[in-house]
Structures are given as structure tokens and as C-alpha cells.
Amino acid sequence: MVNGSDLALEVELLEAEELNLVALVEAQTPGDTRLAMCIQCGTCGGSCPSGPDMDHTPRQIFAMLRAGFKDDVLRSNTPWYCVSCYLCTVRCPQEIRITDLMYTLKRMSVEAGLYEDSTAPDLSGTFVDYVERYGRSFEFGLATRHNLRHRPLSMPSMVPMGFGMLTKGRMDLTPHQIEGLDQLRSILRRAKELEAVQ
């Protein structure tokens, strides 16, 4: 039988764990996330174009964070399906910076090695690699590298679309560097230094 003081201590410990996890996510996200202001209205999930593919809506992810389900959150595909359209953030009645929080959860998932499918982290890494090398994405290289690694059998079905994009000038076969690439690299280097301090 659980006495009143044991139950009170258990509730206190659960509340402390909840605050620690929410505080951890907030501390790793730049700016004021307003995560603690979530009223569980569901506007974020209803606004999300990727919502049907997510195993948990953003609202559910925030509830899971509050409940201390860190590993479940970091194993979720939800942050990886976020396309950074900011519809959830714009429509949130509490002005929670949901998209920024999704970036934090992606990073935490990679650091903890808890993502189940490497497809999205690899795509993200390839994209970042091209931006760091050329200052912009290189769509042909990104699509080719990604699909060869994760969906090689789908490559033949993509040829007509790729050919159409090439003939209409919508895609280049070679990457192009932006002007001022050294400045961008300096900015990215400084951002990494600041991130390491946090």
C-alpha cells in the first residue's frame, strides 16, 4: 500500500523530471520557445502538411516531453517529417516556436543515436554538406546521393522527371558556388562555436 508521503514524493519527482526535460529542450533551442505555454489545442497538427505521415502530432510530442518520455520523443519520426513551412508556428495561439523545437529534437535524436531510420538524418547531412561546400543546395547531387544510398531501385522511375527538369533549366548537372562563400563559412563556423558553448 502506498502512503500519502510516498505518493507525494513520487508526484514531486515526476514533476521535476518533466520540468528538466522541457527545460533541456528549451535550453537547446535558440530564443524563447514558449514550449511551457502549450495548451494542447492541436492547431499545430491540424496545420501540418506532413501531419498524416507523422507517428505523433507536435501536440503529442510536447505532451510526451512533459511526461518525461525522452527516448520515445527522440525515436519519433515527427521532427524528421517537419518541412519547415512554419504553418504550425504562425497559427499557434500561444506563439510557440514549434519549427525551431523540431530542429532541436532532430539534433538531440542524432546526438543520442535514437532515430530508427537513417533516411532523414542522412538527407539532412547531405544537404548541410552541400551548403557548407557550395553555399547552397545542389539538387541533382542531393537527389542522386540520397536515392543511391536509400532507394536505389527507385532511380529508373525518376529519370523522366529529372530529364524534364534538366531540359527546362530547372536543375544543373554541376554544383555552383555562391559569391561570398568565405563569409558564409565564417558565419557557419561561428554558429557552430556558439552551439558548442550552449
Q: Same structural domain for residues 134 and 106?
A: no
76 within a domain of the structure (yes/no) = yes
Can you tell me the distance from the alpha carbon of 46 to that of 88, in angstroms, rounded to the nearest whole number? 8
Domain boundary among 72, 96, 116: 116
10 within a domain of the structure (yes/no) = no
Give the pLDDT confidence score for residue 7 in this predicted structure.
Answer: 58
Domain boundary among 116, 132, 152: 116
Rg (CA), the chain: 21
Q: Same structural domain for residues 33 and 112?
A: yes
Domain boundary among 70, 94, 116: 116
Which residue range(s) make up the domain with 62? 29-116
Can you tell me the distance from the alpha carbon of 72 to that of 62, in angstroms, rounded to the nearest whole number? 11
Q: Using DSSP, state whether 19 is helix, strand or coil.
A: helix
Say which amino acid occupies 2.
Answer: V
Q: Same structural domain for residues 122 and 151?
A: yes
Domain count, the chain: 2
Can you tell me the distance from the alpha carbon of 35 to that of 98, in angstroms, rounded to the nearest whole number? 8
pTM of the model: 0.64
Q: Same structural domain for residues 35 and 111?
A: yes
Q: Same structural domain for residues 110 and 124?
A: no
pLDDT in tens, the chain (198 residues): 555 566 565 555 555 555 588 999 999 998 999 999 999 999 999 999 888 889 999 999 999 999 999 999 999 999 988 888 899 999 999 999 999 999 999 999 988 888 777 787 788 788 889 999 999 988 888 888 888 888 889 888 888 988 898 899 888 899 999 999 999 999 989 988 877 665
Q: Same structural domain for residues 97 and 149?
A: no
